[in-house]
């Protein structure tokens, strides 16, 4: 019974101190000390949106997902939650419409956990403007856009030995930012820029991966500037709630 196999509950799986945690057999995550909730502190700063600090950041209480052992989640979305992205721009349908936070404690070896927190934030607008660059003159200009969709995902991760991490005893445990990914999509009229017809498509969509801090960035391939919906912090804090 020396090793662990995913989905095969061996004697070591069930009764050993250093037990495995696999996707199909994960009842031992947190070594029997799984909290009913986690409080996750996320201090988001304003970026593309002006309401991040007040509306999208703070302390989130994640509840344990009953049918997925070792995972906790929080979500809020429209229509009950849709804060303005840019103050005074509500008439243009510019708001954050969905936010979710998940936390997983998974075994990656017989003696070590991987702790992963994922933050998803989504924004949309009916009409707005996007900043672009004329590829020939290198001059910046703005185009009128519509049906914009932004999606940001930030992943925080940590690795710790079993003996150093009793889940329901953790207070303000720090997870470091690992990676971020971004989706940007909008439509615009290619004949209207101030420097004449835009030589590119009337539909922009791009995905990219980056790490904070961001500020404003320019992507040459889609010929567009971008910023995160909300600037993600370098670290977040998690607290187990028995």
More confident residue, 226 or 198: 226
Residue 16 has pLDDT above 50, yes or no: no
pLDDT of residue 128: 86
DSSP state of 168: G
What's the half-sphere exposure (Cβ side, CA atoms, 13 Å) at 118? 13
More confident residue, 220 or 234: 234
Mean pLDDT of all residues in 62-87: 89
Tell how strand 58-64 and strand 45-46 pair up. Answer: unpaired
pLDDT bin (cut points 50, 70, 90) of residue 116 is: very high
Q: What values do phi and psi take at 220, rounded to 5? A: -65, -40
Mean pLDDT of all residues in 79-102: 89
Residue 2 has pLDDT above 80, yes or no: no
Residues 6+ apart with CB under 8 A from 67: none
Handedness of CA 68, 5, 115, 227 (dihedral sign): negative
């Amino acid at each position: 019974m020396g090793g662990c196999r995913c989905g095969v509950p061996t004697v070591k799986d069930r009764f050993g101190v250093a037990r495995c945690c696999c996707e199909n057999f994960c009842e031992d995550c947190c070594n029997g000390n799984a909290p009913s909730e986690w409080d996750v502190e996320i201090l988001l700063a304003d970026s593309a949106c002006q309401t991040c600090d007040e509306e999208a950041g703070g302390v989130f209480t994640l509840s344990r997902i009953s049918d997925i052992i070792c995972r906790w989640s929080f979500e809020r979305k429209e229509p009950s939650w849709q804060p303005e992205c840019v103050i005074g721009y509500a008439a243009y349908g510019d708001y954050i419409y969905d936010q979710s936070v998940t936390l997983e404690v998974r075994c990656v070896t017989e003696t070590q956990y991987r702790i992963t927190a994922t933050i998803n934030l989504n924004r949309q607008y009916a009409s707005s403007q996007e900043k672009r660059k004329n590829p020939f003159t290198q001059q910046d200009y703005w185009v009128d856009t519509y049906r914009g969709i932004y999606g940001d995902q930030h992943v925080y991760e940590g690795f710790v030995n079993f003996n150093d991490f009793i889940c329901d005893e953790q207070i303000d445990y720090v997870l470091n930012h690992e990676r971020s990914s971004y989706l940007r999509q909008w439509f615009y009229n290619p004949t209207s820029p101030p420097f004449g017809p835009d030589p590119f498509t009337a539909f922009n969509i791009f995905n990219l991966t980056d790490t904070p801090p961001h500020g404003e960035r320019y992507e040459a391939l889609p010929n567009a500037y971008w910023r995160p919906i909300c600037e993600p912090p370098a670290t977040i804090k998690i607290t187990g709630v028995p």
